[in-house]
A = this chain, B = another copy of it.
Amino acid sequence: MPNLHLVLVHYPVVNKSGDVITSALTNLDLHDISRAAKTYGVASLYVVTPLKDQGRLIERLIAHWTRGAGAIYNPERKQALELVHLKESLHEVVEDIRAGSETGDSPRTVVTSARNNRRAIRFSELRQRLQNGKDYLLIFGTAWGLADSLISEADYILEPVRGMSGYNHLSVRSAAAIILDRLLGQSN
């Protein structure tokens, strides 16, 4: 079983104009991506925001579904949202995974992007690498995508999801679902 972790980043990401911003939480991101993560046996889903009030909102959402009324109303949501952990930076996420790793190694970081990049590795290559027993951290951006600084620092860049048209504007929820299926889904 691969040791794959996900992180959904709210900073540093870019807006429509390409400026680096901190994005606001979209509740359904946590619901949809945690449910997909649970489906594909992902170890954890980190959520990064440096904003304290946004962090409190995320903690409340997690508490409602994992320990509050939501946990009784919908146990399947509970199982999914139990995978979610809040951190203030990507650095903290990497440290948390390293601290929990049997080998004490930092995870290999893999950024996802809708844009082509010369360094990009193919889905088939990453799918194979995930079988090598090491920890991997797959990084998703909100808003108009991850800031360039974060992309250039990652160990790997995953090729974009391509459909049948030139149109390339999936939501992060849809992209995460497709990417998990391509990396970990049962072949049909």
Q: Which A positions have Cβ atoms within 8 angstroms of B? A: 1, 16, 28, 31-32, 35-36, 38-41, 74, 76-77, 79-80, 122-124, 159, 161-165, 167-171, 173-178, 180-182, 184-186, 188
| Chain B proximity of A129: nearest CB distance (Å) | 14
Chain B residues in 8 Å Cβ range of A162: 185-186
The answer to whether B35 touches A170 (Cβ under 8 A) is yes
In the A-B complex, list the 6 residue pairs whose CB atoms are closest, starting with the nearest. A39-B163, A174-B177, A41-B164, A123-B188, A40-B163, A76-B169
Output the nearest chain B residue to A181 by Cβ-Cβ distance.
B178
Known contacts being A28-B28, A177-B177, A178-B178, is A184 close to B163, with CB within 8 Å?
yes
The answer to whether B123 touches A169 (Cβ under 8 A) is no
Output the nearest chain B residue to A126 by Cβ-Cβ distance.
B188
- Give 19 pairs: A residue, B residue, CB < 8 Å, sorted on A: A1-B164, A32-B170, A39-B163, A39-B167, A39-B168, A39-B170, A40-B165, A79-B167, A122-B188, A159-B188, A161-B185, A163-B184, A163-B186, A173-B174, A173-B177, A174-B176, A174-B177, A181-B181, A181-B182
The answer to whether B174 touches A161 (Cβ under 8 A) is no
Known contacts being A123-B188, A181-B178, is A165 close to B32, with CB within 8 Å?
no
A39 contacts which of B77, B123, B169, B176 (Cβ < 8 Å)?
Answer: B169
The answer to whether B122 touches A32 (Cβ under 8 A) is no
A76-B169, A122-B188, A163-B184 are known contacts; what are 13 more A-B pairs with Cβ within 8 Å? A28-B171, A31-B171, A36-B163, A39-B161, A39-B163, A39-B168, A40-B163, A40-B164, A162-B185, A163-B186, A164-B186, A173-B177, A178-B181
Which one of A31, A77, A80, A188 has the greatest number of beta carbons of chain B within 10 Å?
A: A188
